[in-house]
């Protein structure tokens, strides 16, 4: 079975649907039935069913900061792979809310946020294809009590209102910009899943000394590209003796005090000869014998 990866908004996660024997290519728009109504989404990729491992915890994970029980039910049923109804036609695409209407919704929502003095940054608004609900995406440092905000929005739009808190990396993916390399952000161009980037990766690649500003993206988090060569760095690190290991270099005993991962060399500290105080640190190439 071919599984089609569908995304409804740039800041939301990717959902899996059964192709239902419909010929599709990346970039096509399709009509699907979700737990909360009919939606139009874009094809961003394909995977084989056997490669999808059920993840119950992720499927049951939901945002408690929501206005309806239907949204919670949607997350619980995320594991079920539903079939695509059909490929979207021109008339379907024309039914989507235009930028003018979306901007008006954002403007009103921002006014209500100011009215209730909520510490949240509004990012985007998504109208469901069937017109039954509006999802407002926002960023906040912590949990926000927006019950009164939801009431005002529901009265004004007369639709089901959902407030979806996203991360700062999701905002960067949605808004887009240029990275340190001068090219469009990877998350905007091709990264569908934003993997966890840890400080261990930066330490292993020996770039921590450059400072947090040089190894962080515009989102303020560690750059996603640190993950690209992580596998290679892990393999190279395994070839190096651990810091503090005692080694014998040409008959002289010393202790490893530093690594040069890409050069595949280590700094070895040797005690001074003839009982003198102090020590000497020498860089030793692990491949030096192979080159002879």
The mean predicted confidence, pLDDT, of the chain is 85
pLDDT tens, residue by residue, 249-285: 988 899 999 999 999 999 999 988 776 777 889 999 9
pLDDT tens, residue by residue, 109-132: 999 999 999 999 999 999 999 999
Pairing outcome for strands 37-48 and 2-7: antiparallel
pLDDT tens, residue by residue, 71-114: 555 555 556 788 999 999 999 999 999 999 999 999 999 999 99
CA distances from 57 to 54, 77, 190 (A): 9, 12, 26
**pTM for the complete prediction?**
0.69
Provide the edge-to-edge strand list for the sheet that holds 121-127: 121-127, 133-139, 160-165
Is the pLDDT confidence value at 195 over 70? Answer: yes
Residue 168's pLDDT is 84
Share of the chain above pLDDT 70, in %: 87
């Amino acid at each position: 079975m071919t599984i089609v990866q569908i995304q409804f908004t740039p800041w939301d996660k990717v959902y899996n649907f059964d192709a239902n024997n419909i010929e599709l290519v990346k970039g096509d728009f399709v009509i699907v039935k979700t737990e909360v109504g009919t939606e139009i989404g874009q094809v961003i990729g394909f995977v084989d069913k056997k490669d999808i491992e059920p993840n119950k915890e992720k499927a049951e994970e939901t945002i408690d900061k929501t206005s309806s029980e239907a949204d919670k039910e949607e997350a619980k049923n995320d594991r079920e792979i539903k079939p695509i109804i059909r490929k979207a036609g021109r008339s379907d695409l024309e039914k989507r809310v235009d930028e003018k209407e979306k901007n008006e919704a954002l403007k009103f929502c921002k006014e209500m946020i100011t009215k209730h003095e909520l510490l949240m940054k509004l990012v985007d608004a998504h109208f469901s294809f069937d017109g039954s609900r509006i999802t407002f995406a926002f960023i906040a440092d912590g949990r926000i009590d927006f019950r009164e905000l939801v009431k005002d929005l529901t009265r004004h739009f007369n639709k089901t209102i959902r407030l979806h808190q996203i991360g700062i990396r999701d905002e960067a993916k949605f808004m887009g910009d240029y990275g340190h390399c001068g090219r469009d952000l990877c998350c905007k161009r091709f990264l569908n899943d934003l993997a966890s980037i840890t400080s261990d990766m930066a330490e292993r690649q020996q770039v921590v000394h450059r400072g947090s500003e040089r190894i962080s993206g515009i989102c303020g988090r560690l750059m996603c590209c640190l993950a690209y060569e992580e596998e290679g760095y892990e393999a190279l690190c395994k070839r190096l003796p651990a810091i503090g290991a005692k080694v014998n270099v040409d008959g002289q005993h010393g202790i490893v005090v530093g690594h040069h991962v890409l050069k595949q060399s280590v700094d070895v500290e040797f005690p001074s000869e003839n009982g003198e105080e102090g020590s000497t640190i020498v860089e030793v190439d692990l491949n030096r014998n192979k080159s002879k």
